[in-house]
Amino acid sequence: MEKQKKNVNIWKSLQKVPAGTMFVPLIIGAVITTICQGFFNFDLWSSLGNPVKDMFSSSGQMLIIGLMLFCTGTQLKISDFKDALHRGILLIIVRLVIAYALCALYYFAFGYDGVFGVSFLAFVCAVSSANAALYMGNISSFGDKADKASFGIMLMCSMPLLPLLFLGFFGTSGFGMAQVMQIISLLIPFVLGIILGNLDEDIRRVFAGGNAIVMPFMGFEFGSTINLIDAFRMLPQGLLLSVVYFIIVIGPSYVFERRVLHRPGYASVASGSLAGVALSIPSMASAANAALEPYVSSAVAVLAFVLAVTNILDPFLVKAELRRHPADGSRPERPAAPSRKSVA
C-alpha cells in the first residue's frame, strides 16, 4: 500500500499571520537582501538576471502592481456602491479629509524630512491607508449590508491613486504632466478590471484569486529594497507611527460614527489597519517626483513595522469595542419575559 505523502501546509501557515502572504515573503526578501548586500556587497537578483530578477526584486514592482489593480477592479460591483452611500462613505470621507489635512500640515511644518525620523512620505503613505481585506474579515460575522458594501469604496480609497495625487502637489515641480500620466497609468488597469468584471461574471470568478497569487511576489519585491540592519534602526519610528496611525485613522471617524451616526463604532475600529499596498506607494511616488527618492527605503522600512503592528492589534481592538458596544448582529437574543397572568 502506497504511503500517503504528508502535506506541509505552507499556505495555511502564511494565512495565520496577519497579511502573511505578503508580509512573510517581504521578510524573507529583506533577509536575503541584508545578507547579500549588507555583508557581501553582492546584488543576487541582478546577478541572476531575468526572469528571476523581475520576479523577486524591485525591478518588477510596477507589473505586479498593475496586475493587482486589475484583479481588484474585477471584484468591485457597481451595484454595491449604493448600499455604501447610506453610511460607510460618510465615515471614509471624514477619515480621508482629516488625514490629508494633517498630512498637508505635516509637510508645511516639517518638510520632506518630517520629525522624529518619520518622513513626510512615510506619514502620508501610512495615515491614508486602510486594509479593506482585514476590515471585511473583522465585520463579516456581525456587520450589516451597509458595512459590507463599504468594502468596495474602502478598497478604492486604499489604492495608490489618492496618495499619489496628494503627493504630486508637494513635488519640486508641482503637479505636472508626469504625475498625471502616472495616475492615468494606474487607473487604466483598475478601471478596465471594473468594466470587465461587471460585464462578465466569469471574468470576476476567474480573477477572484488573482491578488492572492501576486501578493507573495509583491512581498519579495518590497523586501528586496529593505536592509534589515537599517530597518531595525527605524524601530522607534515604526512604533511611533503605529500609535499616530491609530489615533488619526480611528479617532475622528469613531467619534463621528458614535456621535453623529449613533452607531456602535465597530466599523471605524475595524478599518484601523495598514494595507499591504501602502508599501508600494513610496516607489511609485518617487518615480513621479525624484525629490522623494532618498526617503523611499526608510519609508518602506517604517511602513513594514506599521503594517505588522496594526494588522496584529486591530482584530483585538474590534473585539474590545464589541464588548463595549455590541453590533446589532452580535447581540445575544434576550429570552422573552414570562407573561404575568393572574392565576384564577
What's the whole-number average pLDDT of the chain?
A: 79
91-114 per-position pLDDT tens digit: 888 888 998 999 999 999 999 999
pLDDT tens-place string over residues 112-142: 999 998 999 999 999 988 877 667 666 666 6
Residue, of 184 and 260, whose pLDDT is higher: 260
The C-alpha cell that represents 197 in the structure block: 468584471
- Report whether 264 contacts 270 (CB < 8 A): no
The predicted model scores a pTM of 0.67
Sequence-distant (6+) residues with CB within 8 A of 61 are: 218, 221, 222, 280, 283
Contact 245, 274 (CB under 8 A): yes
Give percent of the chain with pLDDT exceeding 90: 16
More confident residue, 189 or 4: 189
| Rounded (10°) angle between helices 88-110 and 235-259 | 140
> Cα 215 vs. chain centroid, distance in angstroms?
12
Q: Name 115's Cβ contacts closer than 8 Å, sequence gap at least 6.
A: 109
Residue 311 has pLDDT above 80, yes or no: no
- Domains along the chain with CATH numbers: 17-322 (1.20.1530.20)
Contact indicator for 17, 23 with CB cutoff of 8 Å? yes
